[in-house]
Structure 1
Amino acid sequence: MFSSFLSRFIQITDHFTEWLGKTIAWLTLAVVLLSFSVVLLRYGFNLGWVAMQESVLYAHGAVFMLGAAYTLKHDGHVRVDIFYQKFSAKQRAWVNLGGTLFLLLPVCIFIFYVSVDYVLLSWEILEESKEPGGIPAVYLNKTLIWLLVLTLSVQGLAEIARNLLVIYPKTTPPSDSISTAEKE
């Protein structure tokens, strides 16, 4: 019963994270096109708009902040795996569980804690760009910090559930939600 709940939670979280990651990936194309346009307009036509330049920064920030959970889901974060690559699936699950519980989630809590005043103040004053002609929504950009924490924490909980199902295999995790590390 509990393992079916965990499996369902993993499926829902993985589905959302997959959708978000693929959606956000399109912003990389926007970053490239906007960057190209900024350079072309600036050096080719001696034109430029601060809002256009800032939009590149906003989109770039969104890609990193909202793409972190997708990267976690696909086991794409940096890892020194001298020993890890030789571990069994159960040993890897223990390492991943410990890393998530003692590193990932505490860092997410810390990031949220230190950013509360920063983001709330920005919303309170509806912070705008300091540059004339800039984007008048800096508070939305700063909110990406909380979205990073939210998406990364929820995906972290899914990783905890996935690793628990590997460690205590009464039922196997859903086939579409097994991380790449467990497939090897």
Structure 2
Amino acid sequence: MTLLLQLSRAIDWLNERIGKGAFWLVLVMTLISAGNASYRFAFDNSSNGLLEIQWYLFSAIFLLAAAYTLQKNEHVRIDVLSGRLSPKGQAVIDIIGTLFFLLPIVLVILSLSIPLVAESWRINEYSANAGGLIRWPVKLLLPVGFSLLALQGVSELIKRIAFLAGRIADPNSKAETHSAEQELAAEIAAIAKEKP
């Protein structure tokens, strides 16, 4: 179990770094979007390549941060049943969900997406739009993102089994932290107090 917990920590470390890196893509996407909109307004012209890179970045954010979201227990779940269960009951539900839903669907998506990426690479596929971008890099995000999600699923599975065995604390428990909105409000209040 110790070796498996070390593997889980390594997967968590990887997905946390990638997830936090994906946060920066939001800024890049926003700057490109604002720049393209400003250029279009000022010069009555636009670039399909810039529009497509925004879509590519949105895809990257979603797919690369999915595993991080699972790791932080912020994914969408239906708590009607599991919210009423004990922590051990919730861990059992998570194990069943991971084994019978998450990992099988990830494997199906991987088996379907890898041939798409290979074909796109082989034919050097480009967008059909004038000035559009090459397509294989955005298609590559599918197997990469779902591979990271599969790894995180394995990590979460290890943590739930370790919790049931009494080796670690409840992985579903969340530390009391402030939301992003609360942190922003506190920073604004601190700045307001500093001004005379």
User: What is the rounded CA distance, in whole Å, between the counterparts of 1:168 and 1:182 in structure 2?
Assistant: 16
User: What is the rounded CA distance, in whole Å, between the counterparts of 1:83 and 1:111 in structure 2?
Assistant: 28
Q: Secondary structure at the match of 2:74?
A: coil
User: What is the rounded CA distance, in whole Å, between the counterparts of 1:76 and 1:90 in structure 2?
Assistant: 19
Q: Which residue of 2 aligns with 1:101?
A: 99
Deviations along 1:22-45, whole A, 9 cap, x unmatched? 000110111111111121111232
Q: Which residue of 2 aligns with 1:172?
A: 168
Q: Which residue of 1 aligns with 2:66?
A: 68
Q: Secondary structure at the match of 2:79?
A: coil
Q: Which residue of 1 aligns with 2:173?
A: 182
Contact 1:96 1:163 survives alignment (8 Å)? yes
Q: Secondary structure at the match of 2:75?
A: coil
Question: More relative contact order in 1 or in 2 (CA 8 Å, sep 6+)?
Answer: 1
Q: Which residue of 2 aligns with 1:130?
A: 128
Q: CA deviation at 1:120?
A: 1.3
Q: Which residue of 2 aligns with 1:162?
A: 159
Q: Secondary structure at the match of 1:182?
A: coil
User: What is the rounded CA distance, in whole Å, between the counterparts of 1:134 and 1:172 in structure 2?
Assistant: 50
Q: Secondary structure at the match of 1:53?
A: helix
TM-score normalised by L of structure 1? 0.89
User: What is the rounded CA distance, in whole Å, between the counterparts of 2:121 and 2:165 in structure 1?
Assistant: 45
Matched ranges for 1:108-127 at <5 A? 108-127=106-125
Deviations along 1:45-66, whole A, 9 cap, x unmatched? 2121221111101111100111
Q: 1:142 aligned to 2:133? A: no
Q: Which residue of 1 aligns with 2:193?
A: none
User: What is the rounded CA distance, in whole Å, between the counterparts of 1:44 and 1:83 in structure 2?
Assistant: 54
TM-score normalised by L of structure 2? 0.84
Contact 1:35 1:53 survives alignment (8 Å)? yes
User: What is the rounded CA distance, in whole Å, between the counterparts of 2:5 and 2:112 in structure 1?
Assistant: 33
Counterpart residue identity of residue 104, structure 1? L
Deviations along 1:72-123, whole A, 9 cap, x unmatched? 1111111110232232221111011110000000110111122232221101
User: What is the rounded CA distance, in whole Å, between the counterparts of 2:113 and 2:6 in structure 1?
Assistant: 32
Q: Gaps (5+ residues) in structure 1?
A: none
Q: Gaps (5+ residues) in structure 2?
A: 176-196
Q: Which residue of 1 aligns with 2:50?
A: 52
Q: CA deviation at 1:182?
A: 3.0
User: What is the rounded CA distance, in whole Å, between the counterparts of 1:117 and 1:17 in structure 2?
Assistant: 25
- Give the structure with higher Rg (CA): 2
Contact 1:21 1:67 survives alignment (8 Å)? yes
Deviations along 1:132-159, whole A, 9 cap, x unmatched? 2222x21111011101221000000001
Contact 1:65 1:148 survives alignment (8 Å)? yes
Contact 2:159 2:168 survives alignment (8 Å)? no
Contact 1:65 1:145 survives alignment (8 Å)? yes
